[in-house]
Structure 1
Amino acid sequence: MTAFLLHHLLDRRAELTPDAPAVRRGERTWTYHELRTRSVAYAEWLRDRGVVRGDRVLLLAPHALETTALVHACSRLGALHVVLSDRIRPYHLDHILGDSEPRLVLATDEAAGLAVGVPVHRLAELPATPSGSLPAGEPCAATDPVALIYTSGSTSMPKAVISTHAQVLFAASAINARLGYRADDVVFCCLPLSFDYGQYQMFLSCRAGACLVVGDDGDAGPTLLRRLTEHGTTVFPLVPSLASTLGRLVGRAGRPPERLRMVTNTGAALPVTASVRLREAVPGLEVVAMFGLTECKRVSIAEPNADLTRPGSCGLPLPGTEAYAADEDGHRLPAGETGELVVRGPNVMAGYWRAPDLTARRFRRDAFGQPVLHTGDRCRFDEDGHLYFVGRDDDIYKQRGIRMSCLEIEAAALDVPGVELAALLPPDEASGARLAVAGDLLVPYVVQQLGVRLEEQKLPSQVVVLDALPLSVNGKVDKKGLAELLAGQGGAS
C-alpha cells in the first residue's frame, strides 16, 4: 500500500476542486490545479539538480508564493524542506548551513547573497510547467522526515525539529478538527512560512480547500486593515502584536473587515484591550486561544471566546493526544497542581536534528512505546482538563525569596487598559525584574494598576513605557533586543 505523504494532500485537493483559488500573493493567484502543476515542475527541476530522498532543500523565501509549491515539490522527492527567514543573521545562517548541509538553496533576489559555500538559485529560475512526467523516485514512508523547522530556545544556536509526513498530516488534521477551516475561507497569513504557525497555514488551508493569502512584514503595520478587507479575509492567524495593531486600526477607522469570522492566537496571551476592541468591532467574531511548541506543533486549542468564560485557559489537548502535568519524577499530578507539561501522541515530532543527547532528554517513549515529549514548560490543568500555561523554566525566578513567573507579571500588565504589549525581563546580576509595556500611558498609572492586580512582593523593580516593543521575525517580543534597548534607561519602581 502506498504511503500517504504530504504532497498527496495537495494532489487530492487538486482533484476535488482544481479551479478553486489555492494561494494568493499580491495580484498573483494560483488555483489548486496550478499549485499542483507547479509543485510537479519544481520537483522535476530539483531532481535535475541532484536532489534525492533524504536531501535538505533550504528556502530563503518565507513570504513567496513559490514556497507553497516548493514544500510539496520536496515531498515528491522524499527531500526535506527547510524554510528560513530572509532576515536571518549571517551568524545563524552559517550555523544552519553547516548543520543541515542542504543540497541547494533557493532564495528571493534580495536574499540570494546571504548563503555562501553552497549552490544558490533564485526563485526566478523555477519553471511554471513540467517538461515531462516526473519519474517515480525511491519509495518514501510516512515515517520519513519531510521538514526541518529551526527554532530558538535554551541553546545558543537555533536547533531543528524533525517532522515526518505522518506527524505533520496528523497535526494538521487534529488542528482543523478543532478550528474548522472551510472551503469558502480566505486565510490571511502575514506570518513568515519559516514560523511553524505560519507554515501550517499552508496545510490547514489545503486540507480544507480554502484560499491562503500570503502576506509579509509590510502587511503587519498601517495597511493591515486594508489588506484584510480587500482580500475578503475570514480567518486571521495572529500573535499579540498583530492583535494590538488590528484593534488600534479598527478603533480608528470604525470599520471592521466585514467577512472576518475567526482569529486564532498563539505565542502569548492576547492583550485585553485588543480582544475587547476586536469583539466590539466585529460582532460574532470567534477569538480562539491556542498553545503549542514546534516539538509537537500544537498542544491545545480552546473553545471560541473561552477567554471570557475560562480566563487564562489554553483549552483542551488535541483530539487523539494527551497532555498532563508531571512532577520531577515524571508522575502525573492532580488537577490544580503545577508541574512540567508532558505531551503524548502522534503530534510529538521525531526529535532534534543531529542532537541525540538533547533528543533523548526531551523525546521519550512510554511503557506502551508511544512518543512522549517532556517540554520543560510549567503548567496546570483544571478539573475539566483545560490547560493553563504557567511559564517556561527559564521564565521562573525568585524575587524577595518568592518564586514567580514572568508570564504572571505580563498577564497582569496586559490586563491594564491601554497596554498593547508587555514583556518582563527577569532579574540578573545588574538589575531587578524589569517590565516594559507598549502604549500611550504614563509610568505611574501602570505601576498603580499593577499594584491592584499583584501582591507587593511581585511588583517589578522597574517599569518602562515604550512606543513599541522590539519584535522577532515571528511577531513575538524579542526579549534579547528589549534588554539591549533598556540598557542604561531609567524607570519607575
Structure 2
Amino acid sequence: MALLFNDLLTTTALRTPDALALTARQQTYSYAALAMAVQRAAQGLLALSIESQTRVAIYLPKQGETVVALFGAAQAGAVFVPINPILKPPQVAHILCDCNARVLITSTDRLGMLATVLNNCGELQHVILIDELPLPSPIGQPHFVVHRWRDFGNSVASQSSRVVDKDMAAILYTSGSTGKPKGVMLSHRNLVVGATSVAQYLDNCASDRLLAVLPLSFDYGLSQLTTAFSVGASVVLLDHLFARDVIAAIASEAITGLAAVPPLWSQLADLPWPERAVSSLRYITNSGGAMPRSVLSKLRGSLPRTRVFLMYGLTEAFRATYLPPEELDRRPDSMGKAIPNVEVLVVRPNGSLCDAEEPGELVQRGSLVALGYWNLPEATAHRFRPPPDHARDIGVNETAVWSGDTVRRDAGGFLYFVARRDETIKTSGYRVSPTEIEEVVLASGYAREAVAFGVPHPILGHAIAVVATPTDARANIENALDYCKQQLPAYMVPAHFEWRTHLPRNANGKYDRALLIAELRGLFGTL
C-alpha cells in the first residue's frame, strides 16, 4: 500500500515491473525502468547533500525527465516544486526565490532564458541540465554549480531522510487575488489519498491509458500521473499545439481517459472524432471551470459511449466534488457531491449549516486539505481554519479549507456553484491574479492606473479585461498589449483593453470592479 508520493510508483513497480508506465514522445518506460530512473535521480540529488524538505524546482515541458525529477525529488526526501513551462522569467524567478529553491532542474535553453533573473535567487546552489547543449554565457558571476543529467546516479550518496505521510511533498503555485502566485503546500498523504479517491470513482484499472495534456504543475494535471500509477495504468504525455493533435493521440494511443479544462473541451467539441478515438475513450473529466451546456451536448453527441465526469476542486484541497455521469441529464448544472474521503459543508457566516437551497460558503474537510500556503501565515490563517463546531471531532486538531466560494445544496444533496467571493479570475482553467496583471500594465509605462478583472466568455470561462488611464496622449493600447505579451504567459494577456479618463471608485475609495464587470459583462456575448 502506498503511503508516500513516490510509493505510488515503486509499489506498482514491485507488483508489475514489466507493465508500461509512461510514454513520453518517442520514449517508453516500464514501471521497473521508471522506478530505476527515479532511484538514480534520487541518488544524484542526495549526492548534492540536500537535506530533508529541500525545495527542488522543475522547469521543464512534459517529458520523461520531468516525471523522473518529480518522483526522484520525493524519493530523496525533498519537496518538488513543478513550474509551469509557459511562465516567463520574472514569474519563474518569483517562484524560485519565494520557495528558497536550492536545486533547479531545467534545460540549457531555459537556463539561457533565466540568465538575467537567476542572480536574484540567492538560495539557488545547483542547476541540473537534462541535455548536452553548450552552456549559455552567464550574465554576472553565477552563484550556482551546473550539473548534467547524465551524471546523475553515478555518485554514492547517503540514505534519504526518513519521511512520513504528513510531511510536505510538493509546493504547487497558484495565483490569488492579492498579487504574486501563492505556493500551496501538499503532504504525501494529500497526494496519495487524492490519487486513490479519484481512481475509485473513475473506476481506473491497470488496463487504462491516460492522456496527460495538462501542465504537471497544475494539481489536475499532476493527478493524471498519480491516479494512473496508483492502479498500474499507463500515461501518455502530450504537449499539443492544436486540439486535433489531442484527438489524433487518443486514436493512435488507444487512450481510455482524458482530463481537460473548458477551453480545450470547447475546441474538441467542434472537431470530428474518428471511430478509433471514439471506441477507446472510456471516460472524460472536466475541472477548472464549468463546462458550457452547448459544449457538453456536442461532446456527448460525438462520444455517445464515453462517461462524462464534471468535477470541482481547489488547489488548496485538490478535489471536492464530482457529478456521476448518470446524473448529467437530471442535473447538468450541478457540481455533484463530495468525492470519497471528503466532506463538503455549506455554511452561513456564523458557521451554522445552511438549509436546502440556501446559499452559503463551501467548506471542505478530510484528507485532501493542504498544509497551507508557503511562507504566508496570514493567508493560511484566513483560508485554512478549523471546521464549524458541529462538524469538528472532539479532541482532534483539524483544519478545513474555507473556499470563499458560494454554493447551494438541493434537497437531494447535490451542490450548485453560485459565485466566487474573491477577485481571482478563472480563465482557461487557470486562476489568475488581477493584481499581477495590473502591475505589468503599470510597469509598461503607458498606464497611470489600471484595473484588471474577468468577464464571462463562452470558451475561456472568463476573459481578462483591463480598463486603464493613460499616462499621456502618446500612450498606445497596442504597445501596452505588446509589453504584456512579453511579460506574461498567453493565458494572462488581456483579451480586452481600453483607456478611460478616470476609473470608477466605490464608497471606500477602492476601484469599483463590480461596476466595471457589470458594464462589460456582455462584451463577449451572452452565455
Coarse TM-score class (shorter-chain normalised): 0.7 to 0.9
Paired residue secondary structure (2:311):
strand
Alignment of 1:56-67 (within 5 A): 56-67=55-66
- CA shift in 2, pair 1:3/1:423, >3 Å: closer
Paired residue secondary structure (2:110):
coil
Q: Is the 8 A contact 2:3 2:165 kept in 1?
A: yes
- CA shift in 2, pair 1:96/1:479, >3 Å: closer
Displacement of 1:479: 6.5
2:494 is the alignment partner of 1:481: yes
Q: Is the 8 A contact 2:316 2:369 kept in 1?
A: yes
Paired residue secondary structure (2:235):
strand
User: Aligned partners of 2:194, 2:409: CA distance in 1, in Å?
Assistant: 22
Displacement of 1:247: 1.7
- CA shift in 2, pair 1:320/1:77, >3 Å: same
Q: Is the 8 A contact 2:254 2:276 kept in 1?
A: no
Q: Is the 8 A contact 2:361 2:402 kept in 1?
A: yes
Q: Is the 8 A contact 2:166 2:188 kept in 1?
A: yes
Partner of 2:510: none
Alignment of 1:222-237 (within 5 A): 222-237=244-259
- CA shift in 2, pair 1:109/1:391, >3 Å: farther
User: Which 10-residue stretch deviates more, 233-242 or 110-119?
Assistant: 110-119
Partner of 2:99: 100
Q: Is the 8 A contact 1:3 1:140 kept in 2?
A: no
* 1:183 equivalent among 206, 231, 236: 206
Paired residue secondary structure (1:204):
helix
User: Which 10-residue stretch deviates more, 166-175 or 420-429?
Assistant: 420-429
User: Which 10-residue stretch deviates more, 93-102 or 255-264?
Assistant: 255-264
Q: Is the 8 A contact 1:254 1:281 kept in 2?
A: no
User: Aligned partners of 1:198, 1:351: CA distance in 2, in Å?
Assistant: 20
Displacement of 1:478: 4.0
Displacement of 1:293: 0.7
Alignment of 1:300-379 (within 5 A): 300-304=321-325, 306-366=327-387, 367-368=392-393, 369-379=397-407
Deviations 1:280-307 (A, max 9, x none): 2223111100000100000111102533
User: Aligned partners of 2:467, 2:217: CA distance in 1, in Å?
Assistant: 32
Deviations 1:147-195 (A, max 9, x none): 0000001121000000011121111111211112111111001111011
**Residue type of the partner of 2:265?**
A
Q: Is the 8 A contact 2:169 2:186 kept in 1?
A: yes
**Residue type of the partner of 1:308?**
D
Partner of 2:149: 126
Q: Is the 8 A contact 1:250 1:256 kept in 2?
A: no
Length, aligned pairs only: 431
2:40 is the alignment partner of 1:27: no
User: Aligned partners of 2:338, 2:369: CA distance in 1, in Å?
Assistant: 12
Paired residue secondary structure (2:65):
helix
**Residue type of the partner of 1:270?**
M
Q: Is the 8 A contact 1:266 1:292 kept in 2?
A: yes
Q: Is the 8 A contact 1:255 1:281 kept in 2?
A: no
User: Aligned partners of 1:128, 1:182: CA distance in 2, in Å?
Assistant: 36
- CA shift in 2, pair 1:39/1:329, >3 Å: same
2:414 is the alignment partner of 1:391: no
**Residue type of the partner of 2:37?**
R
Paired residue secondary structure (1:374):
strand
- CA shift in 2, pair 1:254/1:356, >3 Å: same
User: Aligned partners of 2:525, 2:285: CA distance in 1, in Å?
Assistant: 35
Paired residue secondary structure (1:52):
coil
**Residue type of the partner of 2:252?**
E
Q: Alignment identity in percent?
A: 29
Normalised to the residue count of structure 1, the TM-score between the two structures is: 0.80
Partner of 1:423: 462
Q: Is the 8 A contact 1:62 1:83 kept in 2?
A: no
Alignment of 1:10-409 (within 5 A): 10-115=9-114, 116-117=118-119, 118=124, 119-124=126-131, 125-127=148-150, 130-131=153-154, 135-218=158-241, 220-250=242-272, 256-304=277-325, 306-366=327-387, 367-368=392-393, 369-394=397-422
Displacement of 1:127: 4.0
User: Which 10-residue stretch deviates more, 126-135 or 136-145?
Assistant: 126-135
Partner of 1:417: none
Deviations 1:407-448 (A, max 9, x none): 9x95xx75xxxxx55536699799xxxxxxxxxxxxxxxxxx
Displacement of 1:9: 1.7
Q: Is the 8 A contact 1:263 1:287 kept in 2?
A: yes
- CA shift in 2, pair 1:83/1:226, >3 Å: same
- CA shift in 2, pair 1:381/1:110, >3 Å: farther
Displacement of 1:364: 1.4
- CA shift in 2, pair 1:241/1:424, >3 Å: closer
- CA shift in 2, pair 1:213/1:256, >3 Å: closer
User: Aligned partners of 1:178, 1:96: CA distance in 2, in Å?
Assistant: 34
User: Aligned partners of 1:201, 1:336: CA distance in 2, in Å?
Assistant: 34
User: Aligned partners of 1:233, 1:346: CA distance in 2, in Å?
Assistant: 30
User: Aligned partners of 1:193, 1:309: CA distance in 2, in Å?
Assistant: 33
Q: Is the 8 A contact 2:25 2:63 kept in 1?
A: no
- CA shift in 2, pair 1:278/1:138, >3 Å: same
Paired residue secondary structure (2:184):
strand
Unaligned runs of 5+ in 1: 398-405, 415-419, 431-469
Paired residue secondary structure (1:96):
helix
